[in-house]
Amino acid sequence: MSEATINRPKSAMKFVIIGAGMAGILAGIRLKEAGYSDFVIVEKGDSVGGTWRDNHYPGLHCDVPSHHYCFSFEPWAEWSEIFSSGPEIWKYLDLVAHKYGIMPYIRFNCAAESADWDGARWQVKLATGDTVAADVVVTATGGLRIANYPEIKGLETFAGECFHTTQWNHDIDLSDKRVGVIGTGSTAVQITCALAGKVAKYELFQRTAQWVLLLPNASYSAEEKEEFRRNPDKMRQLYDEFETATYVQTGGAIMGTDPEARAALIKNVQDNLGSVRDPVLRAKLTPDHEVGCKRLVMSPTFYQAVQDPTVEVVTDRIDHIEPKGIVTADGQLHELDVLALATGFDPGAYMRPMKITGQDGHTLDELWAVRPIAYKAMGLPYMPNFFMVEGPFTPFGNLSLIRVAEWQVDYIMKCIEMIREQGVAMAPKLDATLKLVAQYREDAKSTIWATGGCTSWYQDEEGVPIIYPYLAEQFRDEVKAPIILEDFEIGPLTTA
Ligand code: N01
């Protein structure tokens, strides 16, 4: 081990963080707090915010309460509602990035194309043609980033406006338009609530009915916000309460570890469905899978929205698309002016299409040839001093991913300290990673996400969930524990 690499001054350590969304901003804040200053956050877009910048469809809200969908160390008194809108969350992230002095570290319009390990450092190639060297790389590219376009015959022949929900065209005045939306996930449900009764005709093309949890939203009054400003402890208390509500109660209800909470959850969604007056429509909207098999859709007004006279829920299978609209299997042409594809995302992309080449020429493509794997959702074999925030098997679902990212970044910071102090390259061992993933996959097979009788983006091509198969609290305890050194290849830097 070279003397020059041991106990390096923090100023000598270089970092590249990929992505300036919630997780990239967080990683920057933690590096700064720890005394590191030589880092760059490369961001493909022209502003911070990640998913909250990329998604801007009508009705976009977060279905996790805002006083918990925020950084634990940065409560915000200005949240307008219990469940805030996408633009407000985007604004919050921008404010935090400014407040913590992260903006000067961000290079916008600058996608990372590849990263190559040279034995001591990563050489990160950017779309601008530049290469940036880094002792440590952290990818913070988000979980659901790449749009999933459905394979429907004739889709490209549609003569009206057609876009994926991430590409919403706000220039179109929809008020006199016939609008079709394909999909019934959280996105489609929020759009339906926003557009029902506000367009000439609204058709929701449903392949699978969803359970919808009734969670009323409400605005915070000026007095409540003032109280939050005066007494930030109130916000911390709310944060803790919402953490218990989402992580412990909702998590336990979905996974069935808390039978009482599960019974309450089932009662809620069934009662909510029961509010649909027309039995034919109610039957159409009745799911054929267990509650919680798919990620729970939460909405205060969905069933109200679908009962609007201008809304139709179409359950006949889509046969093909023509210039004038969608033709269903019963031969009916549903004439449309605008078609929105609320058909979700590629959940297996992570930081791809970025190319990563690690130790001895091992590549990410080779590691993930069968399916994405990761050590504790953060590390990759043969990829020394390389970490992912929200990699494969991250706890996902009806919870705040910001909280999960905080635990992950804390773990990454522990590794960074070791890398700096000992002057080492560390990567999880292949066998330790495969063993962990095999255990996750085995245990995932008995979760509601696999046994509940549905298909969803939680599942891989074999139907096995690709998310952390236990309660999120267990993940927190796993990553807060000391690093399991025997799970890592830890060796000298070879060309420093
Ligand atoms: O996507 P989805 P999403 N023909 O994958 C249907 C997060 N999120 O964008 O169920 C016809 O859930 C598909 O049908 P089926 C959250 O994690 C969070 O709504 O496969 N239909 C399904 O109905 C969420 O889970 C918030 O039968 C087709 C829909 O498209 C995740 O993003 C808000 C089809 C896709 O649903 C994804 O949600 C919004 C086809 N060929 C989103 N292909 C918050 O509030 C697909 N579908 C935090």
How far apart CA 373 and CA 231 sit, in angstroms, is: 44
| Ligand 1 atom nearest residue 341's Cα | 30
- Same domain for 175 and 324, yes or no, is yes
- Do 289 and 434 belong together in one domain? no
DSSP assignment letter at 245: I
Show contacts of 464-468: CB within 8 Å, 24+ apart: 466/347, 466/348, 466/371, 466/372, 466/392, 466/393, 467/393, 467/394, 467/395, 467/396, 467/397, 468/377, 468/393, 468/394, 468/395, 468/396, 468/440
> Which range of residues forms the domain containing residue 302?
155-219+257-341
Q: Is residue 432 one of the residues assigned to a domain?
A: yes
Asked if residue 273 is part of any domain, the answer here is yes
- Nearest alpha carbon, ligand 1 atom 37: 344
Cα three-residue angle 133-138-140, rounded to 5 degrees: 130
Inter-CA distances, 59 with 55, 69, 70, 104, 446, Å: 11, 17, 20, 32, 35
| Ligand 1 atom 8, closest CA | 186
Sequence-ordered list of residues with C-beta below 8 angstroms from that of 109, at least 6 positions apart, any chain:
43, 44, 45, 46
Any ligand 1 atom below 6 A from CB of 208:
yes
CATH number at residue 159: 3.50.50.60
Q: Mutate which of 55, 62, 207 to test ligand 1's pocket (most atoms within 8 Å of Cβ)? A: 207
The angle formed by the CA atoms of residues 129, 130 and 136, to the nearest 5 degrees, is 130
Using the predicted structure, report yes or no on whether residue 3 has a pLDDT greater than 70: no
CB 320 within 8 A of CB 327: yes
Q: What is the position in ligand 1's atom list of the atom closest to the CA of 455?
A: 20
Tell whether 337 and 200 lie within a shared domain: yes
Same structural domain for residues 370 and 472? yes
Contacts of 234 (CB under 8 A, 6+ apart): 227, 228
Paired residues of 246 in beta bridges: none
What was the pLDDT predicted at 1? 53
Residue nearest to atom 11 of ligand 1 (CA): 207
CA of 457 to the centre of ligand 1 (A): 8
Percent of the chain at pLDDT > 70 equals: 99
Q: 69 in a domain, yes or no?
A: no
How far apart CA 384 and CA 403 sit, in angstroms, is 25
144-155 tens-digit pLDDT: 999 999 999 999
| Residue 384 pLDDT exceeds 70 | yes
Cα(324)–Cα(333) distance, rounded to whole angstroms?
Answer: 8
Please tell me whether residues 388 and 297 are part of one structural domain. no
Residues 128 and 41 placed together within one structural domain of the fold: yes
Q: Is the CB of 207 under 6 A from ligand 1?
A: yes
Please report the DSSP string for 324-360 in residue order: TEEEETTS-EEE-SEEEE---B-TT-TTTTSEEE-GG
Both 288 and 415 in a single domain?
Answer: no
Closest CA to 313 of 286, 348, 343: 286
**d(Cα 65, Cα 51) in Å, to the nearest integer?**
17
Per-residue model confidence as pLDDT tens digits over 310-343? 999 999 999 999 999 999 999 999 999 999 999 9
Q: Is residue 366 part of a domain?
A: yes
User: Residue 4: pLDDT above 80?
Assistant: no
Q: Are residues 263 and 192 in the same domain?
A: yes
Average pLDDT over residues 379-384: 98
Number of domains present in the structure of the chain: 2
Which residue, 307, 341, 375, sits at the end of a domain?
341
User: For residue 245, how far is its CA from the centre of ligand 1 (angstroms)?
Assistant: 24
pLDDT of res. 359: 97
Burial of 387 (0-12, 13-18, 19+ CB in 10 A): buried
pLDDT per position as a tens digit, 235-262 = 999 999 999 988 888 999 999 999 999 9
Give the pLDDT score at 247: 81
342 CA distance to ligand 1 middle (Å): 6
Cα(145) to centroid(ligand 1), Å: 13
Among 99, 89, 105, smallest CA distance to 43 is for: 105
Closest listed residue to residue 359, CA positions, set 257, 494, 236? 494
User: Considering the chain, what is the average pLDDT of its residues?
Assistant: 96
Instruction: Give the end of a domain, one of 341, 364, 399.
Output: 341
Amino acid code (one letter) for 319: D
Residues 112, 140 share a domain: yes
Query: In which element (H, E) is residue 209 found?
Result: none
* 263 within domain boundaries: yes
Query: Of ligand 1's atoms, which has the minimum distance to the CA of residue 187?
Result: 19
Q: Is the CB of 187 under 6 A from ligand 1?
A: yes
pLDDT greater at residue 398 or residue 122: 122
Q: Is residue 70 part of a domain?
A: no
Distance 467 CA to ligand 1 centre (A): 16
Residue 112 shares a structural domain with residue 20: yes
Residue 37: count other Cβ atoms within 10 Å of its Cβ.
Answer: 11
Same domain for 138 and 159?
no
pLDDT digits (tens, 9 = 90+) for 85-120: 999 999 999 999 999 999 999 999 999 999 999 999
Q: Which atom of ligand 1 is nearest to the CA of 185?
A: 19
> Per the structure block, which two tokens stand in for 335?
């004439």
What ranges in 100-250 are assigned the alpha helix state H? 186-195, 222-230, 232-243
Three-state secondary-structure class, residue 433: helix
CB-ligand 1 contact for 429 (6 Å cutoff)? no
The model's pTM is 0.96
Q: What is the pLDDT of residue 398?
A: 84
Task: Specify whether 337 is located in the same domain as 357.
Answer: no
Q: Is residue 229 situated within a structural domain? A: no
- Other C-beta atoms lying within 10 Å of the C-beta of residue 486: 8
230 assigned to some structural domain:
no
Output the pLDDT for position 495: 65
- Please tell me if the CB atom of residue 22 comes closer than 6 angstroms to any atom of ligand 1: no
Domain boundary among 341, 364, 398: 341
